[in-house]
Amino acid sequence: MNNQKEIQVGNLTVSNLRPFTLLGGMNVLESRELALEVAATYKEITSKLGIPYIFKASFDKANRSSINSFRGPGLKKGLEILAEIKEVHQVPIISDIHEPAQAKPGAEVIDILQLPAFLCRQTDLVVALAETGKPINVKKAQFLAAHEMGHIINKFKEAGNEEILLCERGSSFGYNNLVVDPLNFGIMKTTGCPVVFDVTHSLQIPGGRSDSAGGRRQAVSELMLAGMSQGIGGLFLESHPNPTEAKCDGPCALPLDQLEAFLKQAKAMDDLVKGFQPLDVK
């Protein structure tokens, strides 16, 4: 494919043809102290391994299963924490935007605005994100086929923004299950957009617990290797020092003390695949 785009994020360049970029961190901002600790660990390991790195955390999780579930510190406090992480660790930031009114203030701190999967067809939100001029990471909804992402890309283009990354995070398969179809990566790469694999959310078991999603973090390495074998632009990952006590999506999170070994495997697979001469099969 010779139509592959490059997306600039600060000093980083994200492309399916380059070594992968890690969009990694934690699911939700539980506290300032924990967020700084997690960011420091990621920054140290990615610097050691030579992996381009963008810190991820959500200031608000607006789509929890229960109204009583922890959502995060909210927009104002959350952006303060993200701004501090950005300054202290000198890393770009990615975070979710759930409402049009959050886009403009969010863009003052956040380098990649993320369009959540369940909201990816909300036109007003797409337009608000596009108008910031920032790169957008579009999560593919669990209910959409890969080729349908073209409609969302066109919405962004019509709104004046073509700085788009496409993120695979699994497809609904019957009730309470997600599957990842490896063919989706190739289909989305035909758009030219960098493709990112959200490995941890792809491990979810929707409705798997009484008041929240379950997960299968024991399979995180196998699923990561399958995704990275497709020659993609980025890996999206959430980790936690103690996943069993995480306030959101703990069953899917990688234990933080296994991050370095995990990323060594991801980098080895990415290096291997991108060293192959592409086959022209028609």
215-226 tens-digit pLDDT: 677 779 899 999
Q: Is the pLDDT of residue 152 over 90?
A: yes
For residues 89 and 214, the model is more confident at 89
In a domain, 279, yes or no: no
| pLDDT on residue 248 | 73
In a domain, 55, yes or no: yes
In a domain, 281, yes or no: no
Range of the domain at 217: 7-274
In a domain, 2, yes or no: no
In a domain, 263, yes or no: yes
Catalytic residue among 27, 137, 161, 184, which? 27
In a domain, 259, yes or no: yes
In a domain, 1, yes or no: no
- CA neighbor of 74 nearest in space, from 88, 87, 61: 61
- Give me the number of domains the chain comprises: 1
67-77 tens-digit pLDDT: 766 778 899 99
Question: Three-state secondary structure along the chain?
Answer: CCCCCCEEECCEEECCCCCCEEEEEEEECCCHHHHHHHHHHHHHHHHHHCCCEEEEEECCCCCCCCCCCCCCCCHHHHHHHHHHHHHHHCCCEEEECCCHHHHHHHHCCCCEEEECHHHCCCHHHHHHHHCCCCCEEEECCCCCCHHHHHHHHHHHHHCCCCCEEEEECCEECCCCCEECCCHHHHHHHCCCCCEEEECCHHHEECCCCCCCCEECHHHHHHHHHHHHCCCCCEEEEEEECCHHHCCCCHHHCEEHHHHHHHHHHHHHHHHHHHCCCCCCCC
Residue 166 backbone class (left: φ over 0; alpha: ψ -120 to 50; beta: rest): beta
Catalytic residue among 111, 249, 267, 270, which? 249
- The chain-wide mean pLDDT, for the chain, equals 92
The pTM is what?
0.92
249 noted as active-site residue: yes
| Mean pLDDT, range 93-104, rounded to an integer | 97
Catalytic residue among 61, 155, 189, 267, which? 61
124 noted as active-site residue: no
Q: What angle do CA 68, 69, 70 make, to 5 degrees?
A: 120
In a domain, 135, yes or no: yes
- CA neighbor of 193 nearest in space, from 150, 143, 144: 150
25-84 tens-digit pLDDT: 999 999 999 999 999 999 999 999 999 999 999 998 777 566 766 778 899 999 999 999
CATH of the domain at 139: 3.20.20.70
Q: Which two tokens stand for residue 112?
A: 């990649």
134 noted as active-site residue: no
